[in-house]
């Protein structure tokens, strides 16, 4: 947009006056940020209205991405970037003697998700707007996001994330678009004259769902889509006592941490139905206002089920088409399956959602009837050809449980995993029966990231260098980064690349100093592992590797200086994960205070990992640890972000690591360890003996023994717990098995580090290849193959 600095300054001063009745320099930093956000909102408001009007006028197919989590990150910087006015606004701020970085940092970071799944949902919204695709988010406006993490004595402590304490400037409450969501009661089915059945509800509980819309601004497309998050409120004008009000408000009060316990399961079910019902209702209502014939629904609407949490969208759409639109079952089912598509995000069987039939029937009686009918028809349709056994294994209702992943597959026309290996494993194991029944539904969609946030915004040093080398074309089409390869033998470029990285490491060192009071040397190798704390991700293997270095250094061996940077939250009830957190902090205490090693080895565990902290860590990483047991990490996305800013990946052949290796080149990455096939074979043949591995390797014995021999102070019970898991429970995730290979891989990294030019070449190869992991391409593949929409403006133009 054609904004001048002078115009911006005028608008900004006016906003300060309008919002806070004061001049800019009298406002608090928070108010200055709010006024700025208000101005920016004004700059895209017309485009937002226009995008909606165009969509309606041209009857463009709309994609609705249903997700129980979204993690958009801070929006001020990305909105300015995407509108193409960042430089103008920053020049204006400078003229007003305001520091842009301080203002950006005043924005809160809505943590409405746990990790990869929620961040991916937000990356997709950014990407859809940036390729000009009409794609919107539908989710929950939690009053409290994922807990804030602190460390007290090395232990994780969870504090509530009261992110709405300051008003969230980007959202707009749309009370005129509120809908009613019904829970419980009894359903009576009364025959209508036309033979269909009318559902009459007795004693149901009504809850008002109020939408809050946030604009998703495309990168220089003029396309502005919507993230719609629903808040639960009592229906106005109805008598409510305090207890009833509290019950209603509870629905959207807190985000569930992806926990292993079963507490509060019913509330979670209420949450899921809440945003699904509100979303589907509002889609159908809007569709009927703008289209004559509901039978055309799949031609104009795609609903995407992001993991199983919104799987009951299948049931809710059926309910509306049957009960409210009086369609036949066959017609309603045809439209529903054609509208829905589903992504699976994990192979962890304990994470595949099921609901007890009794709970489901009590809370959602009409949906339960519909699920029973689907179950009945599914069994009847397939039993002849495939037999009782397969049908019973794969039916949506069995053993007193509703199986949401199965329901999602049966009710969708397309099902995908999030990396090649993951999709193959779905087809071969977790969803194998469905692959037999509906092979054509299965497809792979490898995840993606938004290089706008991770490179352009978070790594301006690198972005400037690339601009100077290639011009700005890569900013719109990151495949152009491939052209960097031509500079692989240009010593000046390699030196500049290393210098940019060093500058970023200096910035992270300042954060570490400020947060942990720890001085780290920016010239050391920064070895980063940032992701949720889970046994399968094997942060423990990383700890064992660094304990081995600790021992080697103590014994007088020389190793290049390394700073091990961790960021990870553990689910509050996940004991083992919390013990690993305590272990990492205890090891940090030990090595950071040991003058015999701390010139060469340091550990920085930064608390409260989230989108904003990731923006500080990722550009400063030299090494990206992606060391899950092969066959357990569906895709991973920090692997893609870290390669995009030039980190060298240290990885098992798991998830998207395999695809990263394919494009970056095996010589520019270090891989090690069991393959998924080998791990599965050992698991099913029961040939793994963790204790024997431990006994056979003196270096391994030494680090495992450190857990319990008092050499790491303060971990008596945690050390014992972890040792028990490894040796008595036979090491579920093969940490001991992969240990020797992991050490060898690390020595390869050390050797590479010794040659800064060669290191920079490997970094360059990763940056150059990272473009293909832009989520822009991922959503275009979904658009072509799953949602059947074509973006208005293909990127690259
Ligand atoms: C949930 C649970 C809950 C019960 C205990 C075990 C467990 C393990 C994992 C999960 C997370 C499930 C959903 C999820 O966040 N998956 C992540 O999705 C990312 C985006 O597709 C992908 O990159 C990650 O590999 C995948 O773990």
CA–centroid distance for 200 within its chain: 40
Pocket test for ligand 1, best of 258, 306, 420, 651 (most atoms within 8 A of CB): 258
User: Is 345 an annotated catalytic residue?
Assistant: yes
Spatial separation of the C-alpha atoms in residues 473 and 38, rounded to whole Å: 30
Q: Residues with beta carbon inside 6 Å of ligand 1?
A: 115-117, 120, 258, 260, 307, 345-346, 348, 350-351, 418, 447, 633-637, 655
| Residue of 308, 348, 537 to test ligand 1 pocket, by largest number of atoms within 8 Å of CB | 348
Which is the catalytic residue, given 537, 564, 582, 600?
Answer: 537
For residue 36, pLDDT over 50 is answered with yes
Q: Which pLDDT does position 197 carry in this prediction?
A: 82
Backbone angles phi, psi at 214, to 5 degrees: -125, 135
Distance of alpha carbon 387 from alpha carbon 379, whole angstroms: 9
Which pLDDT score, from 0 to 100, does residue 193 have? 84
CA dist 253 and 246 (Å) reads 10
Please give the distance, rounded to the nearest whole angstrom, from the Cα atom of residue 538 to the centre of ligand 1. Answer: 14
492 CA to centre of ligand 1 in angstroms: 42
- What percent of the chain stands above pLDDT 90? 95
What is the C-alpha separation between 709 and 692, in angstroms, rounded? 20
Right CATH for 451-674+746-772 from 3.10.129.10, 3.40.50.2000, 3.90.1170.50, 3.30.70.1050: 3.40.50.2000
Encoding tokens for residue 35? Answer: 């006024």
Spatial CA neighbour of 446 closest among 625, 663, 239, 642: 663
**Domain assignments of the chain as residue spans, ordered by start:** 1-58+75-108, 59-74+109-445, 451-674+746-772
Q: Is 52 labeled as catalytic in the residue annotation?
A: no
Q: List the structure tokens of 395.
A: 């039916």
Instruction: Specify the 3-state DSSP secondary structure of 576.
Output: helix
- CA distance readout (Å), 401 to 354, 371, 398: 6, 11, 5
pLDDT of res. 792: 58
What pLDDT score does 791 carry? 61
Confidence label for 796 from pLDDT (cuts 50, 70 and 90): very low
| 794: pLDDT strictly greater than 50 | no
Q: How far is CA 403 from the centre of its chain?
A: 23
pLDDT (0 to 100) of residue 370: 98
Q: How far apart are CA 229 and CA 213, in angstroms?
A: 6
Distance between CA atoms of residues 410 and 414, nearest Å: 10
Residue 582: pLDDT over 70: yes
* Residue 567 CB partners (closer than 8 Å, separation 6+): 529, 530, 531, 605, 606, 609, 613, 614, 617
The fold of the 59-74+109-445 domain, in CATH, is: Rossmann fold (3.40.50)
Ligand 1: which atom is nearest the Cα of residue 114?
15
Average pLDDT over residues 547-567: 98
451-674+746-772 matches 59-74+109-445 in CATH topology = yes
278-288 mean pLDDT: 97
Name the nearest CA neighbour of 568 among 599, 609, 521, 596. Answer: 609
* Average pLDDT along the chain: 96
Q: Check pLDDT > 50 for residue 448.
A: yes
Distance CA 581, CA 150 (A): 11
Q: What is the mean pLDDT of residues 171-194?
A: 94
CA distances from 740 to 593, 635, 651, 744 (A): 27, 24, 14, 6
550 pLDDT more than 60: yes
pLDDT digits (tens, 9 = 90+) for 623-651: 999 999 999 999 999 999 999 999 999 99
């Amino acid at each position: 947009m054609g904004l001048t600095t002078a115009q911006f300054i005028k608008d900004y001063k006016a906003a300060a006056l309008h919002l806070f009745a004061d001049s800019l320099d009298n406002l608090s930093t928070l108010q200055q940020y709010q006024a700025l956000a208000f101005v920016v909102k004004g700059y895209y408001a017309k485009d937002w209205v226009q995008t909606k009007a165009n969509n309606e006028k041209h009857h463009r197919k709309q994609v609705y991405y249903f997700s129980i989590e979204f993690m958009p990150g801070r929006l001020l910087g990305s909105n300015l970037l995407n509108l193409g006015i960042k430089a103008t606004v920053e020049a204006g701020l400078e003229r007003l003697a305001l520091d842009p970085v301080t203002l950006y940092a005043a924005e809160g970071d809505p943590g409405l998700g746990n990790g990869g799944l929620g961040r991916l949902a937000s990356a997709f919204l950014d990407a859809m707007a940036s390729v000009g695709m009409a794609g919107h988010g539908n989710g929950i406006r939690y009053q409290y996001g994922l807990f804030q993490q602190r460390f007290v004595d090395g232990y994780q402590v969870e504090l509530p994330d009261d992110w709405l304490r300051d008003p969230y400037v980007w959202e707009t409450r749309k009370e005129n678009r509120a809908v009613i969501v019904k829970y419980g009661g009894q359903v009576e089915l009364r025959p209508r004259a036309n033979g269909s059945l009318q559902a009459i509800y007795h004693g149901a509980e009504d809850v008002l769902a109020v939408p809050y819309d946030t604009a998703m601004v495309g990168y220089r497309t003029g396309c502005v889509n919507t993230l719609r998050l629903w808040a639960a409120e009592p229906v106005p004008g109805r008598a409510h006592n305090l207890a009833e009000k509290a019950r209603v408000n509870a629905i959207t009060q807190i985000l569930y941490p992806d926990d292993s316990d079963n507490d509060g399961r019913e509330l979670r079910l209420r949450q899921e139905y809440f945003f699904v019902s509100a979303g589907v209702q509002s889609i159908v209502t809007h569709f009927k206002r703008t289209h004559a014939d509901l039978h055309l629904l799949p031609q104009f609407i795609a609903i995407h089920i992001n993991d199983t949490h919104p799987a009951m969208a299948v049931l809710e759409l059926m309910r509306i088409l049957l009960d409210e639109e009086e369609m036949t079952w066959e017609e309603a089912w045809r439209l529903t399956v054609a509208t829905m598509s589903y992504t699976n995000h994990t192979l962890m069987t304990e994470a595949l959602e099921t609901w007890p039939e009794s709970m489901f029937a009590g809370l959602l009686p009409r949906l339960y009837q519909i699920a029973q009918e689907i179950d009945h028809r599914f069994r009847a349709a397939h039993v002849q050809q495939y037999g009782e056994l397969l049908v019973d294994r794969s039916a949506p209702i069995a053993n007193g449980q509703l199986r949401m992943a199965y329901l999602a597959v049966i009710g969708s026309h397309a099902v995908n995993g999030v990396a090649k290996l993951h999709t193959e494993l779905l087809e071969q194991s977790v969803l194998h029966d469905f692959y037999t029944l509906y092979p054509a539904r299965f497809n792979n969609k490898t995840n993606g990231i938004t290089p706008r946030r991770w490179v352009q915004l978070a790594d301006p040093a690198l972005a400037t260098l690339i601009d100077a080398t290639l011009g700005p074309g890569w900013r719109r089409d990151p495949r152009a980064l491939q052209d960097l390869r031509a500079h692989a033998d240009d010593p000046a470029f390699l030196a500049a690349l290393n210098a940019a990285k060093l500058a970023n490491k200096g910035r992270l060192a300042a954060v570490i100093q400020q947060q942990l009071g720890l001085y780290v040397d920016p010239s050391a190798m920064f070895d980063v592992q940032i992701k949720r704390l889970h046994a399968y991700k094997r942060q423990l293997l990383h700890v064992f590797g660094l304990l081995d270095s600790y021992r080697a250094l103590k014994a007088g061996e020389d190793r290049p200086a390394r700073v091990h940077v961790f960021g990870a939250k553990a689910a509050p009830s996940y004991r083992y994960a919390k013990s690993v957190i305590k272990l990492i902090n205890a090891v940090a205490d030990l090595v950071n205070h040991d003058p015999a090693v701390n010139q060469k080895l340091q550990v920085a565990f930064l608390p409260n990992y989230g989108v904003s902290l990731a923006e500080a860590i990722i550009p400063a990483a030299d090494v990206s640890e992606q060391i899950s047991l092969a066959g357990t990490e569906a895709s991973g996305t920090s692997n893609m972000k870290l390669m995009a800013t030039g980190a060298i990946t240290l990885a098992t052949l798991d998830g998207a690591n395999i695809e990263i290796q394919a494009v970056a080149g095996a010589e520019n990455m270090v891989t090690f360890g069991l393959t998924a096939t080998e791990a599965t074979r050992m698991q099913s043949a029961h040939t793994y003996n963790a204790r024997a591995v431990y006994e056979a390797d003196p270096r391994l014995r030494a680090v495992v023994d450190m857990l319990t021999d008092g050499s790491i102070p303060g971990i008596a019970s945690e050390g014992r717990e972890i040792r028990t898991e490894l040796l008595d429970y036979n090491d579920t995730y093969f940490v001991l098995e992969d240990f020797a290979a992991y050490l060898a891989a690390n020595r390869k990294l050390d050797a590479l580090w010794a040659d800064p030019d060669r290191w920079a070449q490997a970094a360059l190869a990763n940056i150059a290849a990272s473009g293909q992991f832009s989520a822009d391409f991922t959503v275009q593949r979904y658009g072509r193959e799953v949602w059947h929409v074509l973006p208005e403006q293909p990127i690259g133009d």
